[in-house]
Amino acid sequence: MCCQLGLSLFTFHSEMLAWASAQIHCQFHASESRVALPAQGTKQDVQAESDTVLIPSRGERGQCVLDTPPKILFCDLRLDPGESKTYSYSEVVPTDGPPSFRGQAVKYVYKLTIGCQRVNSPIKLLRVPFRVLVLHGMPEPPFPQDEEVAPSNPFLEEEEGSRRDTRPLERALDMLMITTSRRCPYMFNITNVRGKVAKFCIFKTVYRLGEDIIGTFTFSEGDIPCLQYSVSLQSEEEVQEQYQRRPGQAVSVTAHARHLESCLHTASSHFSLPVPLNVTPGFTTDIVTLRWRLHFEFVTAREPVEAPVVLQNQSEVTVWTGAEHVDVDTFSWDLPIKVLPTNPTLASYVSQFTGTNSINI
């Protein structure tokens, strides 16, 4: 994963800038009511306002669980009135880090911190948050990174470095497409203690961000009348047992989409739930696990419900009125699914605007 940044400097009068550097870091924050972290000794922040030591996470909440080596953008830069300078910064985000996540128990937030200092002036920090998607389980390439195995086109000029940089992303996208394109009907008989309610069919259980989850119900094959059903796309955030604040702590469940339908006297029905682009795919760290599921709820009648009768030669419009009182049973069912990342370009569509961040030095 690569992060790129353009930095521009402008001044109205002659200035001398001592240095500027950039660094990526990931901040981890845990809810004290849900997570019991091991006690850590207090660390003294050794950076005073006038020091030249850059600590990107200074003043941030939580712990810094990942950071990249700082890169110097410039040193001893002099700018004349009206003069501007532009610098580019790129960095590879470590693949063993957690994804960006804001849950009820924990949060993982990535930020790019730029530090700059004028001569004889305090350090100024600019923090730019960004989102990281992690694809776990991507196999190692079967060939060296610098070995070209695909046939090359001698009529096209391409930088070897840029081609090599795109290989990990291309392999990840290929793996995503192969994994999420496999379709195989999964059939489930929905039953309760009184008998069979319906047959449920879903064509796959692995989805990318932005995909639609489609399923069908066949109520005509059931023996028990179903009055209503609902399907919810839910995420489960579970703190690892050794870090739980209380023994047997409940899992945090968040609903992201829901479909509700009345289905009495309905032979078949279907639903479509979109996987939002702004959610976090499933992942596991030492502290928390995020899983995904479809949560079903059914309302069934205890006794048969008489269907309306329409005569073939009936010329007048008739209105069927349902029973005023029906004894019902309710039950639920959870179907685990997997949610994987998507193309970063598609995920960026959540935010359609480009932002500009600035600091006064």
Residues near 331 by Cβ (< 8 Å), separated by ≥ 6? 192, 297, 298, 300
Closest CA to 287 of 14, 9, 37, 18: 37
pLDDT (0 to 100) of residue 46: 43
Cβ atoms of 239 and 249 within 8 Å: the answer is yes
Q: In degrees, to the nearest 5, what angle opens at C-alpha 98 toward C-alphas 110 and 132?
A: 45
Do 217 and 263 meet the contact criterion of CB atoms below 8 Å apart?
Answer: yes
pTM of structure? 0.80
Structure tokens at 319: 């209105």
190 near 197, Cβ under 8 Å?
A: yes
Query: What's the CA gap between 285 and 29, in Å, rounded?
Result: 13
Residue with tokens 């047997």, as numbered in its chain: 248
- The residues facing 228 across adjacent strands are 262, 299
Q: Which residues of 303-330 are buried (b: 16+ CB within 10 A; e: fewer)?
A: eeeeeeeeeeeeeeeeeeeeeeeeeeee
* Rounded mean pLDDT for each run of 10 residues along the chain, 361 residues in total: 52 76 92 85 46 63 88 86 81 88 95 86 86 74 43 50 61 84 92 94 94 96 93 97 91 96 93 94 94 97 80 71 84 96 81 63 64
What local confidence, expressed as pLDDT, does residue 12 receive? 61
Q: How far apart are the first and last CA of the chain?
A: 30
Same fold, 2-36+51-133 and 186-307+325-341: yes
Give residue 177's pLDDT: 86
**Exposure string for 102-136, b = 16+ CB within 10 A, e = fewer:** ebebbbbbbbbbbbbbeeeeebebbbeeebbbbbe
Could you tell me which residues are beta bridge partners of residue 24?
Answer: 112
125, 70 in Cβ contact below 8 A? no
Q: What's the pLDDT at 122?
A: 83
For the chain, which residues make up each domain, given as ranges?
Answer: 2-36+51-133, 186-307+325-341
Q: Which CATH architecture has domain 2-36+51-133?
A: Sandwich (2.60)
Q: Given this model, what pLDDT does residue 162 score?
A: 47
Residue 191 sits at φ, ψ, to 5 deg, of: -135, 155
Structure tokens at 200: 């449920």
Decide: 203 and 183 in contact? Cβ < 8 Å.
yes
Neighbouring-strand partners of residue 283? 290
CATH topology of domain 186-307+325-341: Immunoglobulin-like (2.60.40)
pLDDT (0 to 100) of residue 117: 85
The beta strand positions in 31-130, using DSSP E, are 63-67, 71-79, 84-92, 101-102, 106-118, 123-130
